[in-house]
Chain A
Amino acid sequence: MATASAQRVVVERLPKSRSLRLPPWEKITPLLLVSPSVILIAVFVYGFIGATIRTSLVRWNSALPDYTFVGLHNYQRLFQLERFQADLVNTVHFTAIFLAGCIVLGLGTAVLLDQRLRGTLFFQNVYMYPLALSFVVTGTVWRWILNPNSGVNVILDNLHLGFLKSGWLTDTHTALNSLGIAAVWQMSGFCMAMFLAGLRGIPEELREAARVDGANEWQLFWRITFPLLRPITLSAVIILGHISLKIFDLVYVMTFGGPGYATDMPSLYMWVATFAQFLYSRGAAIAVVLLLMVAVLIVPYLVWNLRGETEQ
């Protein structure tokens, strides 16, 4: 027993005493172990962001790379373009529809499912399934559904609701909203899951206490539940917001930006400028603008998150 306890003491003390005289290669071991990912991220994320910024500041506007420095000329030109101006308006419009749709639907279904009625588990799964699909699949299916000659218009006709018919994706006034329908369909389930987790995390005692104080269910929701869901709502806005700003696949599949510029998005124009027009510098400039737009959304959130963690 004595030897055993003596040994334990030695074992406990050893790391401290040894760390003072570590051989040099043991000091760099941890560094070597993380170096692959550090190098990969440095090159393939930050290096490439740097390369993109550099490309956006030169005159590379054909298949032949041209690294003549032109300053902010590409940006200046970009913001004068009718197409890019339309893109910025569309992005804001689309983000607004998308966020509002997802949060209202997501919160609504979450509250309903939280009532613990029969069959909630089934519907919970049903609402989540669209999330498993890629935007390309969603886009293709909704393109068919919203085709003015074969989709939902035919159903409306057969129901004698012809006055509700619309050009959907082919009409400049409705195209962006139609795109929003497909996006909300796909992502509201995700929102629902977040809100449901949030709702289940609210202690029943709080509501009980409010009920005892005489609050009705409506007041309960707006005064107790909703404020407590604020962190969840913020997370949802951030996650959905950056998806919305970068949306590409859905637009590419459903409308390719048309009719006119009605559903064009910066990401789609970035692709067209780079790979169809060979305006590499313009494409890079759009990429940088997109990065800044997403950064405006994400960076305050990360700072807020980080501060929360250190406080804890």
Chain B
Amino acid sequence: MGNERWSRRKFVSRAGKTAGAAFLGLSFADFLAACGTSTSGTSGSGKLEIFSWWTGPGEKDGLAEMFKIYTKKYPSVTITNSVVAGGAGSTAKAVLATRMQGGNPPDSFQVHAGQELISSWVKASKMEPITSIWNSEGWDSKIPKDLKDIVSSNGDVWSVPVNVHRGNALWYNKKLLDSKSVNPPQSAEDMTSALSQLKAKGITTPLALASKGGNWQVQMLLENNILASGGADFYKNVMSGKASFTDSKVTQALTWIKQWLPYANSDSSAIDWDEADNRLIAGTAVFHIMGDWAKGDFTSKNWVPNTDFGAVPSPGTTGKYMIVCDTFGLPKGAKDRDNAVGWLKVCGSQEGQAAFNPKKGSIPARTDVPASLFDAIAQQFMAEFKTDTLVPSSAHGSATPPNFASGVNDEMGQFLQNKDVTKTASNLQKLSDEFLKTA
């Protein structure tokens, strides 16, 4: 009996020691595995993880088309499609930030061109420049220099533009507008008078407005209006902290929004941009100022371009093209670096862009993709893209760092409530002082 008791105690003590040791040993091994940056896999086999927020109709089909092209070139590579849903990528960016800070980057990830990448992951030296890929693929002759400048800093290129969306577009219900015999507005003043005419003719909320999910839609109104009141140079200056938000050009831009708000639906905080599109289709609204992803949404709801709906540059911005551009970059420590390089080449290729963009509703970043693949409005935009002045969008991360853009979102949310032009302008300038001067 004594023997049995001894062995039980012995067992417990041993088990305790073993468990402790195993726990420490295991956790240490895990720790090493988690910290170790595994070296790049060989090209043509293994895996490729692509991170994006393309989950909507159209965009996810476009992504699938690009995967098909990639698989044709590298048949033995297994693609992992890591998507995180959420408009304008708000949730995806949070997930990405965690992975980047934790040293576990995807092989390549979707990011808006410009500051969204440069002010964050490039500055934190977590990205690898892709200048050599850019040069070896000869993209200089295919992608406009204005666009290359947006994705470059300190002489290096950091990501490959896949597509170009237009941020400054005014969408309208064509049949309804014709039936009320109102012309599509050209200037901001035209817009105000068109809205009041439509209201007089029985449409109580002719302007569809969305602000759900953080007010970025209202920020687009602001940047389009600043572009209209101040022109491209002023716009670039104010978005880089070289001009002031208390300038009369900015207060003018805010005043226009204030003049339009009485004609907009009051439940904007409950609806997103696609629901605002529905208001046009239902005929309860006539105008919607939104990026050209609205077109993809309209056509997917069986609305025909230039028959059911039309588009013009947002009021006062004719001859200017607000660039909202998705790109892919190369994070340092990507597990399958060589496969990722292959992916970037597909992203920048004529074949890849021709496959992706018609589905997504955007136009290609390359200027040599045949226009015949696209609908009438996209063809019009492609022609304008070649000749217009290109400016980067702040609401979509290209012109300004994320901390500024997110602060502006908050201010625009406040502006919808208090409609105080002077206070908003001075608050915007405070954000500029805090986040743009140091950038």
**Residue ranges of A at the interface with B (Cβ–Cβ < 8 Å):** 7, 11, 14, 25-26, 28-30, 32-33, 35-36, 61-65, 82-83, 143, 147-149, 167, 169-172, 255-262, 271-272, 274-279
Q: Apart from A169-B269, A255-B269, what are 5 other A-B pairs with CB-CB below 8 Å? A: A33-B19, A62-B119, A63-B124, A169-B270, A275-B98
Q: In whole angstroms, what is the CA distance A43 to B196 when docked?
A: 63
Also in contact, A63 and B416, with CB within 8 A (given A29-B13, A149-B267, A259-B211): no
Chain B residues closer than 8 Å to A275, beta-carbon distance:
93-94, 97-98
Residue of B nearest to A27 (CB): B13
Contact, CB under 8 Å: A261 / B414: yes
Partner of B20, one of A35, A172, A258: A35
The answer on a CB contact under 8 Å between A256 and B9 is no
Q: Does B35 contact A (CB under 8 A)?
A: no
| Cβ contacts A to B, 16 pairs, < 8 Å | A7-B1, A28-B16, A29-B17, A32-B20, A62-B119, A62-B123, A62-B401, A63-B119, A63-B121, A167-B266, A258-B211, A259-B268, A261-B413, A275-B97, A276-B94, A276-B214
9 A-B pairs closest in CB distance: A275-B94, A63-B120, A64-B124, A259-B269, A32-B20, A260-B417, A277-B403, A29-B16, A170-B267
Q: Closest chain B residue to A143 by CB distance?
A: B270
A256 touches B414 (CB 8 A): no
A256 and B266 within 8 A (CB): no
Q: Which B residues touch A25, using CB under 8 A?
A: 13, 17
Cβ of B81 within 8 Å of any chain A Cβ, yes or no, is no
Neighbouring B residues of A259 by C-beta, 8 Å: 211, 268-269, 413, 416-417
How far apart sit A63 and B120, CA to CA, in the bound complex (Å)? 5
B12, A167: Cβ atoms closer than 8 Å? no
Distance between Cα atoms of A277 and B119 in the complex (Å): 11
Cβ of B267 and Cβ of A148 under 8 Å apart? yes
Main secondary structure of the interface of B (DSSP, over half): helix
Taking the nearest CB of chain A, how far is it from the CB of B232, in angstroms? 27
Contact status of A83 and B124, CB under 8 A, knowing A170-B270, A276-B94: no
- Decide if A26 touches B13 in the complex (CB within 8 Å): yes
Cβ of B407 under 8 Å from chain A: yes
Q: Tell me the complex Cα distance, A109–B239, Å.
A: 57
A258 to B415, CA, bound (A): 12
Question: A50: shortest Cβ distance to chain B, in Å?
Answer: 18
B394 within 8 A of A: no
- Within 8 Å CB of B215, what residues of A? 258
Known: A32-B16, A64-B123, A169-B269. A258 touches B413 (CB 8 A): yes
A62 touches B124 (CB 8 A): yes
Bound complex: CA of A171 vs CA of B265, how far in Å? Answer: 12
Q: Is the CB of B17 within 8 A of A63?
A: no
Q: Does B212 contact A (CB under 8 A)?
A: yes
Q: Which residues of B contact A257 (CB under 8 A)?
A: 413
Size of B's binding interface in residues, CB under 8 A = 46
Q: 1/0 contact trace for B17-31 toward A, CB 8 Å?
A: 101100100000000
A33 to B101, CA, bound (A): 34
Q: A-facing mask of B399-421, CB < 8 A → 1, else 0? A: 00111001100100110111000
Are the C-beta atoms of B267 and A167 separated by less than 8 Å?
yes
Q: Please determine whether B270 and A147 come into contact, CB atoms closer than 8 angstroms.
A: yes
Question: Which of B90, B126, B406 is in CB contact (< 8 Å) with A63?
Answer: B126
Asked whether any CB of chain A lies closer than 8 Å to the CB of B44, the reply is: no
1/0 per position for B95-134, CB-CB distance to A under 8 A?
A: 0011011000000000000000001110111100000000
A255 to B124, CA, bound (A): 33
Residues from chain B with a CB closer than 8 A to the CB of A14 are 5
Shortest CB-to-CB span from B286 to chain A, Å, is 18
Establish whether residues B23 and A36, one from each chain, have CB atoms under 8 Å apart when the complex forms.
yes
CB-CB < 8 A to A271: which residues of B? Answer: 94
Asked whether B414 lies within 8 Å of A277 as measured between CB atoms, the reply is no
Q: Which residue of A has the minimal Cβ distance to B89?
A: A276
**Chain B 376-393, CB within 8 Å of chain A: the 1/0 string?**
000000000000000000
A268 to B27, CA, bound (A): 33
Bound-complex Cα distance A172 to B19 (A): 57
Q: Is B342 an interface residue (CB 8 A)?
A: no
The answer on a CB contact under 8 Å between A63 and B97 is yes
Q: Tell whether B213 is near chain A: CB-to-CB under 8 Å.
A: yes
- Bound form: Cα–Cα A32–B417 in Å: 60
**CB nearest neighbor in B for A259:** B269
Tell me the smallest distance from the CB of A155 to a CB of chain B, in Å. 17
